[in-house]
Amino acid sequence: MEFKLISIAVLIAFYGCYFLKMLCQKKKGIQTDQIGKDKVGFVKFVEVTMKIAAVLAFAAGLVSIFTGTGHGPVAVRVTGAVMSVAGTIAFIAAVQTMRDSWRAGVSRTDKTELVTNGIYQISRNPAFLGFDLLYIGILLMFFNWILCILTVFAVIMYHLQIVRVEEDFLLATFGNAYLQYKKKVCRYLGRKR
């Protein structure tokens, strides 16, 4: 029962932050959801497929939670709970640190700034890291093969979004400033020497 409560609480906190931020930005005239908008080719494919993967992983996670699947070893389930909480904290910190530069997907028309402070000093992609930890954590708490396949699919699509869309966009937009930042901070977690 406690794993169900933890997972519901982290999902509410995680997606509550996500949608509250979107609502706050909408009131300021900012279109947060840029996934697939004004994109073509491979970039559009990656962004749209990433969104589909996220929705499917979320739905499979909810079904798994409410049907009570996964009765693995307690240590594995506790690890999953810790990961999902850590992912939620990382995501919330990322969204707060980005302020109004945060977008879901890249926007070539909105003027944003390169954020390198706060949690971005230890991860270039803490929001994506948050998604990964949340979904993997739920998988460990409520393991089943459908959830496993959809979680792996979502994690792969988040990674493709980073390496084939976000990093190219940041390099084109911020040039040398982004290259210098990239030399100091790891893609997912840690600082470089």
pLDDT attached to residue 114: 93
* Distances, alpha carbon 133 to alpha carbons 32, 37, 117, 152, 160, in Å: 22, 27, 21, 12, 16
Q: Estimate to the nearest angstrom the gap between the alpha carbon of 90 and the chain centroid.
A: 9
Distance in angstroms (rounded) separating the CA atoms of residues 83 and 99? 24
Q: Encode pLDDT of 9-34 as tens digits.
A: 999 999 999 999 989 999 999 888 88
What does each C-alpha distance from 64 to 43, 68, 103, 125 come to in angstroms?
31, 6, 29, 27
pTM surpassing 0.95?
no
CA distances to 39, 85, 91, 172, 192 from 19, rounded to whole Å, are 23, 18, 12, 28, 33
Band (pLDDT 50/70/90 cuts) for residue 130 is very high
Residue 130 lies in a domain: yes
- Would you say residue 168 lies in a domain? yes
95 domain-assigned: yes
Average per-residue pLDDT in the chain? 94
Residue 1 predicted with pLDDT over 70 = no
Q: Domain range holding 45? A: 2-26+37-184
- In the prediction, which pLDDT does 136 show? 98
Q: In CATH, what number is assigned to the domain containing residue 103? A: 1.20.120.1630
Residue 189 placed within a domain: no
- The answer to the question of residue 7 being in a domain is yes
pLDDT of 47 above 90 = yes
**Percentage of the chain modeled with pLDDT above 90:** 81
190 belongs to a structural domain: no
Measure the CA–CA gap between 85 and 40, rounded to whole angstroms. Answer: 35
Round to whole Å and give the CA distance between 28 and 50.
26
For residue 193, tell me if it sits in a domain. no
- The pLDDT of residue 132: 98
* 68-126 per-position pLDDT tens digit: 877 789 999 999 999 999 999 999 999 999 988 888 888 877 888 899 999 999 999 99
Q: Please give the tally of structural domains in the chain.
A: 1
